[in-house]
Amino acid sequence: MIPSGMAVVKANSEDIKLLARLMRAEAESEGDLGMLMVGNVGVNRVRVDCSDFKNIRTIPQMVYQNPGGFEATQTGYSYQRARESDIRLAKRSINGERQHLATNALWYFRPTGDCPENWWDQPNVGRFKKPLLL
């Protein structure tokens, strides 16, 4: 177990803001939990050395990975600034806080319907859909 407050990947203040922007762009509509799951996936991609993520060692490399990166940076949607609340969430991910389904996930998606347990036969996938409030 990683002690609270101990970074699991190297990150300076600009890296933290970049991760926060990515989390916001990818999952703002899914609330804090969805954004934290995106943060987990991003941190996991920096930590592993397998699959599509060989030689990804920094947050900027992960965020701007092309091809194979996040949709928000591929489509130019990650232009919004990082808010303080986003930065706090990014720090939680960088400091090793893990969210179930995305604990070891290397992919994150929010499908509109049923989906397989694996993403293109790849088992390390996190899926989350914020419940609708009635």
Residue of 118, 96, 116 lying closest to 39 (CA atoms): 96
In a domain, 134, yes or no: no
The answer to whether 62 touches 69, Cβ cutoff 8 Å, is: yes
In a domain, 103, yes or no: yes
Residue of 93, 42, 47 lying closest to 68 (CA atoms): 42
In a domain, 47, yes or no: yes
Q: How far is CA 126 from CA 99, 103, 121, in A?
A: 9, 8, 13
pLDDT at 120: 47
Return all residues near 34 (Cβ < 8 A) that are at least 6 apart: 27, 110, 128, 130
Tokens representing 79 are 């232009």
Kindly state the average pLDDT of the residues 98-121. Answer: 64
Radius of gyration of the chain (CA): 14
Q: What is the CATH number of the domain that holds 62?
A: 1.10.10.2520
Least confident of 43-47, 105-109, 126-130: 126-130
| More reliable by pLDDT, 83 or 134 | 83
User: Which residues is 59 bridged to in the sheet?
Assistant: none
In a domain, 6, yes or no: no
Task: Give the number of domains in the chain.
Answer: 1
In a domain, 82, yes or no: yes
In a domain, 133, yes or no: no
Residue 1's pLDDT band, with cuts at 50, 70 and 90, is very low
* pTM for this predicted structure: 0.81
In a domain, 2, yes or no: no
d(CA 23, CA 90): 8
**pLDDT tens figures, 33-77:** 989 999 999 999 999 888 788 899 999 999 999 888 888 888 888
Q: Structural domain of residue 123, as residue ranges?
A: 13-127
| More reliable by pLDDT, 109 or 131 | 109
In a domain, 4, yes or no: no
